Amino acid sequence: MFIWAGDYLTNILSYFIVYRWIFRMPFRKNKPFCIGVVCTGALLMMGVKVLGLFEKDNVPVTILALLSILVLIEGHYLIALLRFPIAFFGAGVVNVLGSYILAFLFRVPYGIFMRTEAWVFLAMCFFPVVFFVLSLLFKGLRKEGEMVHFSIPQYLLALAGSLCMFIIVGISQGVVQGETQYSDWPRLFGICLASAGVVFSGLIIWQSVIEKRALQYKIENEYYQFCLKRQEEHINEIVENDQKIRRFRHDVNAHLTALEQCIQSNDADQLKAYVNRLRVETKKLEVQKFTGLVAVDAIISEWHQKALEAGITWEWDGRFPERTEIETFDLCVIFSNLLSNAVEAARQVEDGREKKIHVSCGTFREKICIRISNTCKEDVNAKGILSTTKSDRGNHGFGLMNIQNTVEKLHGEFKKSADQGIFQVEIVF
């Protein structure tokens, strides 16, 4: 009778681990209520044993453990019910495998092991104990997290895989114990093994897809961080220039008095020098706007500054549309990669030749047109200019891929050409 209660407790503990720490499903916070539910389930389990209501021991244990879990879970009852087969098969597989390991470690014949209630109870504790040890080694297993959501294909794969493994270990367990109902075990064993192999192959393919998506998300996240940082710097520059303008306005009367004094003294040279100085100072107060989009202008301003510092002539003409449905992030990706390539190529121009970047923007038939041309080495071609020249190729060379992916997403056109030391890129979307 008490073994049945212990069996119920180990089952509900295993299901709790799967639901709470693997599926991350929410449970009730009322501890007295939860303890009451578990104790009530244990008492009912002993009552079922005394009355002898079920012939098979595992049926009432499983039913009561499932009902207890459904009571303890806070909402999401249908999801919990649908996920129960995975929890049942998964925990069962680990416990059966644990019984093999324990029988081997304690040098107990497996037939005797499974006929001894104490050994069976110990095997039922295998899954909770293993998880407890892992939770001590990996603190992330114990952290709170968002509930895991399965798509239909993911759910079917997990269900099929856990079911096949459960049948495989169940058959192996029966064969080892010499049970007669498993006399025709090779056929069923082969079917389940083949099914498990298919599921495993599917998971490998799925993992490759996930890795590809993870790389894409990583690149996008880096661009988001990059854009946010540049946007913050650009906004700080605007605020700083606004303060400079305020200070300049404060000194306007003094400048006018100085100019008036130069005129009265008929000192043309001093007047000219003072006006030129004013022109230089007012030039410093300008914040150049390229597109009118703060985040995009922050990206362009950075490469504009790098080009000037490298001695590269910069020209910008045309007008970017005031309103566009294109996401700012996509524009940042395009301009960042194009201007990065342009500055890098212009820097490598041979001595004695002009280093120049020309950017033009406009609209044609309600489409945005961007053309960027720059001087480059005379021996490069359109294919080679966009491949990375950096030694760390593992972390570079994604520029062309990012541009092409973005333009394809926008259903646009991407053309590039190189002729006589001039490289040109045209994008229409």
- For residue range 15-69, list pLDDT tens digits in order: 999 998 888 899 998 999 999 999 998 888 888 877 777 766 678 888 899 999 9
Is beta strand 367-375 parallel, antiparallel or unpaired with respect to 313-318? unpaired
pLDDT confidence tier of residue 70, bands split at 50, 70 and 90: very high
Q: Give the least confident one: 27-41, 70-84, 142-156, 379-393.
A: 379-393
Angle at 428 between CA 407 and CA 310, to 5 degrees: 80
Give this prediction's pTM. Answer: 0.54
Q: What is the pLDDT of residue 394?
A: 34
Percent of the chain scored above 70 by pLDDT? 80
Distance CA 128, CA 118 (A): 16
Q: What is the pLDDT of residue 68?
A: 93
pLDDT confidence tier of residue 288, bands split at 50, 70 and 90: low
Look at residues 140, 161, 134 and name the one whose alpha carbon lies nearest to residue 150: 161
Per-residue pLDDT tens digits for 231-255: 666 666 666 666 666 666 666 667 6
Per-residue pLDDT tens digits for 90-138: 888 888 888 889 888 888 888 888 888 888 888 888 888 888 888 888 7
Residue 225 has pLDDT above 80, yes or no: no
Q: Which two tokens stand for residue 332?
A: 């940042």
Average pLDDT over residues 421-429: 87
Phi and psi at residue 268, to the nearest 5°: -65, -40
Name the β-bridge partners of 73.
27
Q: What is the pLDDT of residue 395?
A: 33
Q: What is the CA radius of gyration of the chain?
A: 36
Mean pLDDT estimate for the chain? 79
Looking up tokens 């389990």, which residue turns up?
45
Average pLDDT over residues 144-166: 83
Structural contact between residues 423 and 385, judged by C-beta atoms closer than 8 angstroms: yes
Distance CA 312, CA 305 (A): 10
Look at residues 146, 127, 132, 133 and name the one whose alpha carbon lies nearest to residue 89: 127
Name the β-bridge partners of 401.
none
Angle at 324 between CA 318 and CA 326, to 5 degrees: 110
Q: Measured between alpha carbons, how far apart are the two ends of the chain, in Å?
A: 74
Structural contact between residues 99 and 113, judged by C-beta atoms closer than 8 angstroms: yes
Run of H or E residues at 419: strand 413-419
Q: Which two tokens stand for residue 292?
A: 């009118």
Structural contact between residues 288 and 296, judged by C-beta atoms closer than 8 angstroms: no
Per-residue pLDDT tens digits for 299-351: 787 788 788 888 888 888 877 776 777 887 788 888 888 888 888 888 888 87
Angle at 101 between CA 98 and CA 102, to 5 degrees: 85
Look at residues 380, 313, 368, 376 and name the one whose alpha carbon lies nearest to residue 342: 376
Q: Which two tokens stand for residue 123?
A: 């095997």
Residue type, 203: L
Q: 225: which residues sit within 8 A by CB, 6+ positions away?
A: none
